[in-house]
């Protein structure tokens, strides 16, 4: 069964990229139209009469932290830093927004591909009997790991201190907390680590794909065995690097804050969005009549994973939130204070979308076999996990100046277009059935 | 059940043969009273045409009850009855202090769903301590499968049919009680 990328899909993805780039560019230019000269008028117009009440509250953690750590020499510095800050600070947030929007979307689509890669490796390492019919779909999605990862790193490089305040030497010079973390958080080491992570992940992807294609025409099972071994090895590598990646790429936007289960939390998010995309693509291809060896039991299994991992995600989200809420230690709790004060709707809306919705929709065994039901739940889950990434990045970069407008939607369209184009082109490179896999017969007859 | 006091017991020693026998008997439009197996035979309920279980639905409803009990209980104790300041926790409203109650809400939901569902299962399948076992043949708890069909003046027909399906033993039994 061959897949050929259709012209309509190509055109649709190009339109997405162009429209996305235009929207984002418009968002960029309108945010950079505000500058040092007109920021005062801008803020006055924005806030009307409560303008100076605002100046009192809500300064990003950089200044607040400097003030609270003011020791002998920090104190007077904090004073002067505070005076200059309000307008400049607002300007920073306004200018950060297009970069942050781009970063959120880049990371969201990248994490889908990486989540699928982990899921794929788990299927091999566990010698799962149900999933080999879906391997080609998974391999197509994981094609995006390398380009998507490079895009994330590029956005991080261009965004620089717009995203990561520890990349700003001025901030670091006055911030002892960041100074203490400089051996980990410095530009060279950050990008070196990123390249090491990406190299490891895409090396696994490259070889597992190669062995999987080779197995199609091979005599024995040697390619499958190789894949089994490298998958087990990759999973060990992955769980370390994924954790470090989440500290680097996400947690370090709040360099004054840390959480120990953060890596797991990001992992759950990427796994559930990855599985959801596998299900959506499978349903799409099956509706085109291209996957007749996939039956509704496979769909049922995917939906079960969507359901289960959604609850796992909620468990980690709640564990992180509740432990910090309960102990209420000021240096930790600022993270959630900022989110609950300025991001109430996205913060709690995300929990409803990622937990309540799949919980109630996908609990019934019969519903898990109905394609449009799974599609509906899948779209909500994907939107929910976009919001999840949004909630992780935005409060640290734009604070209360968030909105889901032109730059955010533009960035989503841009990366969605790239993602669709690359993934479906990768899908057309190989037959849709991995027919040499020793479990393929079992998988074709899988019935639950 | 009508007054058919005689039943036929066909005994099989393989679950695959049993399955095909069930399909034959169903095709010949005989009503199967009961099948006794030493272990669950996958797909037997479908072949017999048994209605799907509604136990999962009851479990969901019991879980909702458990959640309600937890919420009402803690709202009364911690918020309404004696809203103390315990270590600075905000006991002004249920919502403000909710994260602290979630572990109990979760556990009570699971507790109610699990236990009430098990009790429902026991009641519906009539199982309790000191219950008299309903074994027509003790070998069905070890390595034999037994299909029970009521006889309505068709003894010879049925015997032939069951012999053809591969039964290793066929017994005609008088049912002295109208059991279960």
Could you give all domains of chain B from N- to C-terminal order, each with its CATH number? 6-38+143-174 (3.30.70.260), 54-125 (no CATH)
How many CB atoms are closer than 10 A to CB A28? 19
Residue B52 touches chain A, beta carbons under 8 Å? no
Handedness of CA A349, A353, A359, A363 (dihedral sign): positive
Q: What is the pLDDT of residues B81-104, one digit of tens each?
A: 999 999 999 999 999 999 999 999
Q: What's the pLDDT score for residue A258? A: 92
Distance from CA of A180 to the nearest CA of B (A): 33
Q: What's the pLDDT score for residue B3? A: 52
Q: Where are the domains of chain A?
A: 7-444
Identify which has the larger pLDDT, A4 or A373.
Answer: A373
pLDDT at B132 > cutoff 60: yes
Q: What's the pLDDT score for residue A62? A: 44
What mean pLDDT do residues B165-171 have? 91
CA distances from A81 to A100, A141, A173, A392, B81 (A): 24, 47, 12, 26, 49
Identify which has the larger pLDDT, A418 or B176.
Answer: A418
Q: What's the pLDDT score for residue A211? A: 96
Decide if A407 contacts A27 (C-beta within 8 A): yes
Quote the CA–CA distance of A203 and A339 in Å, as a whole number.
37
pLDDT at B9 > cutoff 50: yes
Residue B86 touches chain A, beta carbons under 8 Å? no
pLDDT confidence band for A60 (50 / 70 / 90): very low
Chain A nearest-CA residue for B42: A448
CA distances from A306 to A77, A238, A299, B179 (A): 51, 21, 10, 46
Which of A226, A367, A247, A358 lies closest to A296 in space, CA to CA? A367
Residue A327 touches chain B, beta carbons under 8 Å? no
Q: What are phi and psi of B150, to 5 degrees?
A: -75, 150
Residue A325 touches chain B, beta carbons under 8 Å? yes
A318·B60 Cβ contact <8 A: no
Burial of residue A359, with CB atoms counted within 10 A of its CB: 0-12 exposed, 13-18 middle, 19 or more buried: middle
Quote the CA–CA distance of A354 and A358 in Å, as a whole number.
7
Mean pLDDT, chain A, integer: 89
Chain B nearest-CA residue for A363: B60
| Percent residues over pLDDT 90 in chain A | 79
pLDDT confidence band for B155 (50 / 70 / 90): confident
Chain A nearest-CA residue for B99: A322
Q: What's the pLDDT score for residue A48? A: 64
**What number of C-beta contacts closer than 8 Å exist between A and B?**
12
Distance from CA of B157 to the nearest CA of A (A): 36
Decide if A168 contacts A60 (C-beta within 8 A): no
B99·A363 Cβ contact <8 A: no
pLDDT at A55 > cutoff 50: no
Which of A190, A360, A359, A376 lies closest to A283 in space, CA to CA? A376
Q: How many CA atoms lie within 13 A of B55 on its CB side?
A: 14
Q: What is the pLDDT of residues A114-134, one digit of tens each?
A: 999 999 999 999 999 999 999
ipTM of the complex: 0.89
Distance from CA of B177 to the nearest CA of A (A): 40
Quote the CA–CA distance of A356 and A349 in Å, as a whole number.
10
Q: Which H or E element spans position A313?
A: helix A296-327
pLDDT at A73 > cutoff 50: no
Distance from CA of B99 to the nearest CA of A (A): 6
Q: Which of A322, A328, A363 sits opposite B102 (nearest CB)?
A: A322
Q: What is the pLDDT of residues A348-372, one digit of tens each?
A: 999 999 999 999 999 999 999 999 9
């Amino acid at each position: 069964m061959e897949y050929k990328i259709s012209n309509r899909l190509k055109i649709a993805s190009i339109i997405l990229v162009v429209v996305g780039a235009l929207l984002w560019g418009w968002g960029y230019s309108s945010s950079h139209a505000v500058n040092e000269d007109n920021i005062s008028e801008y803020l006055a117009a924005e806030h009307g009469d409560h303008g100076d009440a605002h100046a009192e509250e809500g300064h990003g953690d950089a200044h607040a932290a400097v003030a609270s750590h003011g020791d002998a020499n920090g104190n007077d510095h904090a004073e002067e830093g505070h005076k200059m800050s309000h307008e400049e600070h607002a300007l920073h947030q306004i200018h950060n927004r297009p970069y942050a929007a781009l970063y959120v979307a880049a990371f969201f689509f990248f994490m889908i591909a990486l989540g699928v890669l982990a899921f794929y490796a788990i299927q091999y390492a566990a010698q799962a009997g149900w999933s080999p019919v879906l391997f080609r779909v998974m391999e197509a999605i994981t094609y995006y790991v390398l380009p998507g990862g490079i895009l994330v790193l590029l956005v991080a490089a261009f965004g620089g201190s717009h995203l990561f305040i520890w990349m700003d030497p001025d901030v670091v010079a006055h911030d002892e907390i960041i100074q203490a973390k400089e051996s980990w958080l410095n530009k060279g080491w950050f990008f070196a680590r990123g390249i090491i992570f990406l190299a490891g992940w895409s090396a696994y992807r490259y070889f597992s794909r190669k062995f999987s294609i080779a197995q199609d025409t091979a005599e024995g099972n040697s390619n499958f065995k190789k894949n089994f071994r490298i998958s087990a090895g990759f999973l060990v590598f992955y769980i370390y690097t994924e954790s470090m990646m989440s500290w680097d790429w996400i947690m370090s936007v709040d360099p004054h804050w840390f959480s120990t289960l953060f890596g797991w939390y990001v992992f759950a998010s990427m796994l559930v969005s990855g599985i959801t995309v596998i299900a959506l693509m499978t349903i799409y291809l099956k509706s085109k009549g291209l996957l007749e060896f996939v039956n509704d039991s496979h769909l049922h299994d995917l939906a079960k994973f969507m359901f289960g991992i959604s609850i796992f995600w909620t468990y980690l989200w709640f564990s992180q939130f509740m432990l910090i809420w309960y102990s209420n230690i000021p240096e930790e709790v600022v993270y959630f204070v900022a989110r609950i004060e300025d991001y109430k709707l996205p913060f709690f809306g995300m929990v409803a979308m990622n937990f309540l919705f799949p919980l109630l929709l996908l609990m019934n065994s019969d519903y898990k076999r109905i394609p449009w039901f799974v599609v509906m739940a899948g779209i909500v889950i994907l939107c929910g996990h976009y919001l999840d990434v949004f909630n992780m990045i935005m409060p640290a970069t734009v604070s209360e100046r968030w909105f889901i407008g032109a730059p955010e939607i533009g960035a989503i369209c841009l990366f969605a277009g790239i993602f669709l184009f690359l993934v479906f082109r990768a899908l057309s490179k190989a037959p849709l059935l991995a027919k040499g896999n020793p479990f393929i017969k079992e998988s074709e007859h899988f019935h639950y | 059940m009508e007054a058919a006091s005689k039943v036929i017991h066909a005994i099989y020693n393989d679950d695959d043969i049993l399955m095909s026998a069930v399909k034959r008997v169903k095709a010949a439009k005989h009503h199967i009273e009961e099948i006794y197996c030493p272990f669950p035979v996958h797909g037997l309920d479908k072949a017999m045409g048994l209605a799907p279980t509604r136990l999962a639905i009851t479990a969901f409803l019991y879980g909702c009850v458990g959640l309600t009990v937890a919420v009402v209980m803690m709202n009364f104790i911690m918020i309404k009855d004696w809203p103390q300041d315990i270590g600075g926790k905000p006991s002004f409203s249920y919502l403000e202090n909710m994260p602290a109650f979630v572990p109990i809400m979760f556990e009570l939901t699971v507790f109610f769903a699990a236990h009430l569902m098990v009790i429902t299962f026991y009641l519906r399948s009539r199982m309790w301590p000191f219950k008299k076992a309903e074994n027509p043949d003790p070998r069905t708890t070890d390595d034999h499968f037994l299909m029970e069909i009521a006889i309505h003046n068709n003894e010879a027909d049925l015997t032939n049919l069951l012999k053809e399906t591969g039964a290793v033993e066929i017994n005609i039994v008088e049912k002295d009680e109208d059991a279960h």
